[in-house]
Structure 1
Amino acid sequence: MDKDKLEEKLNNNLEKLNYSLEKSNIFDLMELLGSKRKLFVRNFISGISKGIGIGIGFTVLTAILIIILQKIVTLNIPVIGDYIADIVDIVQSK
């Protein structure tokens, strides 16, 4: 009798563990780590995507900053306009 209860309890715990592992996608991770090629391809594509995203984001932010600075220069604000004009002169001279 005790052996049957122990076996049933063990089986129940194994089912809970199996459900938890399936829910956490640990099997997919184990499969991915088992294949070095899949891991390399996934990390390579991830790195390329991040690099392209950073490049596009930096380009957009720089363009917005340049547009804002151009608008500030056209407003002829004495202190800021002179400062930006000095920066432009320094950049153009080099």
Structure 2
Amino acid sequence: MNNIRRRSRIRQHYSAEVKQMDEQMDEMHSVLQKLALDLEKSRIADYTRLLHKPLRLIWLNLLSGTARGVGIAIGFTFFAATIVYVLQLLGALNLPIVGDYIADIVRIVQRQLELDTY
């Protein structure tokens, strides 16, 4: 009889441990699922595939750099045209401050050109 009680207690003890381990496994499974979903969202697989094809990586970087350069050129052209337009409007007003400022710039440039004879 004593032996039966002892076995029963051992089974209960192991049953509790198994239940606890099962809960831990379920928790670990949900954490791993979340991690797998996050990795899939970050597109790590696509990135590693791209790293294994260096020519494709170079081509994509070349295209993106060219597009970036063209965008900067168009943006700077628009910005410079706007500045020139505003300066033309200010020049038409014949403001003494702006005129003096531009005259100073012209004098500085002329002096520099006279000094630098190649």
Q: Same fold (TM over 0.5)?
A: yes
Q: Which of 81, 89, 95 lines up with 1:71 in the alignment?
A: 89
Aligned to 1:56: 74
Q: Superposed, which structure 2 residues align to 1:72-91 within 5 Å?
A: 72-87=90-105
TM-score (normalised: structure 2): 0.61
> Partner residue of 1:27?
45
The structure with the largest alpha-carbon Rg is: 2
SS in 1 for 2:37: helix
TM (normalized to structure 1)? Answer: 0.74
Long gaps (5+) in structure 2: 1-14, 114-118
8 A Cα contact 1:72 1:81, kept in partner: no
Aligned-residue CA RMSD in angstroms?
A: 2.8
Say if 1:73 and 1:85 are closer, same or farther in 2 by CA, change over 3 A. farther
Q: 1:30 corresponds to which letter in structure 2?
A: T
Give the gaps of 5 or more residues in structure 1: none
The DSSP-based 3-state class of the residue aligned with 2:84 is helix
Contact 1:33 1:39 in 2 (8 A): yes
Count, aligned residues: 93
- The whole-number CA distance in structure 2 between the counterparts of 1:65 and 1:13 is 57
Report the alpha carbon displacement of residue 15 of structure 1 after superposing the two structures with TM.
3.0
- 1:37 aligned partner: 55
Q: 1:82 is aligned with what amino acid?
A: D
Q: CA deviation at 1:20?
A: 1.8
1:46 deviation in Å? 0.6
Aligned counterpart, 1:17 = 35
What is the CA distance between 1:82 and its match in structure 2? 2.8
**Contact conserved, 1:32 with 1:38, CA < 8 A, in 2?**
yes
